[in-house]
Structures are given as structure tokens and as C-alpha cells.
Amino acid sequence: MPVKIRLQRHGKKGKPFYQVVVADSRAPRDGRFIERVGTYDPNTNPATIHLDVERSVEWLSNGAQPTDTARAILSYKGALYKHHLQVGVRKGALTQEEADAKFSEWLQAKEARIEAKRSKLSSSAEEAQKARKEAERKKKEERAQAIAAKNTPPAEEVEAEAEEAPVTEAEAAPAEETPTPEASATEEAPAEEAPAAEEAPAAEEAPAAEETDAAESAAQEEEKKSE
């Protein structure tokens, strides 16, 4: 019977999980299978693949035909390359030790490429996270500046309000009525001289009063003599 190596779908909607199985080509996709040789999880980056390389090579040697996706998985894990080396061993082109050495060398190079890809993805994820945090910080600063600008009135409005504000009498009075030191001294000087001017006539009138008293006393003496 025709045998195929293909994928059998499992998992939830939007998150598929596949099993690599050997099954009859006439069986349903998710139906009965002969043997399970691996798993394939495309939800990770890079994809997680577990494969029994030895059993896959045996099935390939027995004539099993992989589907396109299964062939890509077998090639990724080195099953097709090892099958090619085993064909060379059967034909006598190389020994089993040489085939194993070539396959080990290929596996090391493959693991190095996979590790380089993982490190690159990790660094890219860190850079993306830093860029996202920096963008969030800038966005917060811009929002804070916008709020501050909204709460602060424009300078033109402040100047306009200052020009339109009326000047009260209390603010205007001190500027007009506050006397300078020189003016106050000039205004107080005549007030001190005024009493002196008023007291001068009194001093001059004092002798006139004494003369009147002397004349009266002289008149009384004359009257006494005439008697």
C-alpha cells in the first residue's frame, strides 16, 4: 500500500500543533496512522521540531513519500541528508564512519545557525522593547506638556488683561499726594515764623499801656493837691 509521511493537525483554533506521522495515503488526514515519528509546533520562533531521524530514514528507505511540508521538516532536521548518505554507503561510495562524520559535521553547523538565529531574535526583541519604552516615555512627556500648555494662558492674553485692568483711586492717590521731603520742609517753614510776626505787635503795645497807667496816677496826685 502507498505510505506517506505527513502532518496530522491538533491544537486549538488559531494555535495549531502538528504530529509527523507515517500513514496510509488513503486514510483521513487526522485519522488512523501507522507510526508517529515527530512533532511540529509553528507557534514559536523559530519553530519547535522534534523528529526521530533514524525512524524517518528507515521509512524513507522503505519507500515512504513525504508531503511538501513534511519534506521541509525532514530536510530541516537532516533526515533527508542522512538518507542520502546511507544510499552512498549502500552503493559503496563511502564508509559508514565517513557518513556518520559528515552527518555530525552537518548537525553542528545547523545548530550553530539555529543558535545564531535565536540570539538575533532575542536581541531584536530587546531592541524593540527598548524602542517601545522610549516611545511611551516620549508620549507621556508630550501629554504632560500639552496639559501644562492647556492650563497656562497664553502670554498675549495676560498682556491684554494687564492693559485692560482699570487703575483704582487707591493706587493713583499715593503717586499724586505723597509730598517730597523738600516740599514738606518748604511748607512747614512759614508756619514756624507766623507766631513771631503775631507776637511782635504785642511787644510794641506793652509800653503804651504803662504810659496810660502813669498818666492816671499823675492826674490823681494833682487832684489831691488841689484839694
Residue 146 domain flag: no
Higher pLDDT, 133 or 160: 133
Mean pLDDT of 124-143: 84
pLDDT, position 116? 87
Q: Exposed, middle or buried: residue 166 (CB in 10 Å: 0-12, 13-18, 19+)? A: exposed
d(CA 55, CA 79): 9
For residues 3 and 59, the answer to whether their CB atoms sit within 8 Å is yes
Q: What are phi and psi of 15, to 5 degrees?
A: -135, 75
In angstroms, the Cα distances linking 106 to 5, 15, 58, 86 are 23, 32, 19, 15
d(CA 38, CA 44): 16
d(CA 133, CA 128): 9
pLDDT, position 162? 64
Residue 71 domain flag: yes
Which cell numbers hold the place of 136? 511611551
pLDDT, position 114? 85
Residue 87 domain flag: yes
Residue 122 domain flag: no
pLDDT, position 189? 45
Residue 220 domain flag: no
Residue 47 domain flag: yes
Of 24-33, 36-45, 76-85, minimum mean pLDDT range: 24-33
Q: Which residues contact 79 (CB under 8 A, 6 or more apart)?
A: 51, 53, 56, 57, 60
pLDDT at 218 over 90: no
pLDDT at 19 over 90: yes
pLDDT digits (tens, 9 = 90+) for 185-203: 445 544 444 444 444 444 4
pLDDT digits (tens, 9 = 90+) for 67-83: 999 999 999 999 999 99
Instruction: Give the number of domains in the chain.
Output: 1
pLDDT at 126 over 70: yes
Residue 202 domain flag: no
CATH number, residue 8? 3.30.1320.10
Taking alpha carbons only, the member of 18, 15, 10 closest to residue 70 is 18
pLDDT at 62 over 60: yes
Strand arrangement, sheet containing 48-51? 48-51, 35-41, 15-24, 3-12, 65-66
